[in-house]
Amino acid sequence: MDMLIGYARTSTLEQEAGLEAQLRDLNEIGCDKVFQEQVSSVAQRPELNRALEFLREGDVLYVTKLDRLARSMKHLGDIVDTIKGKGAYLKVLDNLGLDTTTATGELVLNVLGSVAQFERSMMLERQREGIAKAKAQGKYTGRQKTAQAKSKQVFELKAQGIKPNDIAKQLGISRASVYRIIKAGDE
């Protein structure tokens, strides 16, 4: 029996409404199983890996938008190759009903993937320009201070008796980061 598998992702815990909208859309089309996570596209994505492992021949993996699935054309190609290798298909709800079961769908996927990668490159370029401007004005705090602030928050929450899993959720960081911070503080 062919299954409809959904995958939903947002980058941060603050994007709860975006995740809920994706889940609603995936449930409306009748997905039998939905994998979801709130992680950056560049971080490890265990739920995406589980969704890909779960796929069987004839199944369809649904996502609401292409940028929820892949971070680059290479990454998209790898994911599509994995899906095809299992004899399954990809459908993207928000991109003209993109459907890789057809040759036209595969062409559109490649074009849209290229556009998405271009948009990400432009966003990163604007981000670099903004950081350079902030540095020139002496307003840039940088990652190190942000990391130091997170470390301080981890230890404050740990001192309150909050468990590492809950600390990670509350601060929007991975559980592994919480343990790494705690371990570094114990050394």
Active site residues: 11
The amino acid at 58: G
What sign does the dihedral 34-168-49-80 (CA atoms) show?
positive
Cα angle value 61/63/66 (rounded, 5°): 120
Residues contacting 183, CB < 8 A, separation 6+: none
Written as one string, the DSSP assignment of the chain is ---EEEEEEESSGGGHHHHHHHHHHHHHTT-SEEEEEE--TTS--HHHHHHHHH--TT-EEEES-GGGT-SSHHHHHHHHHHHHHTT-EEEETTTTTEETTSHHHHHHHHHHHHHHHHHHHHHHHHHHHHHHHHHHTT---HHHHHHHHHHHHHHHHHHTT--HHHHHHHHTS-HHHHHHHHHHHH-
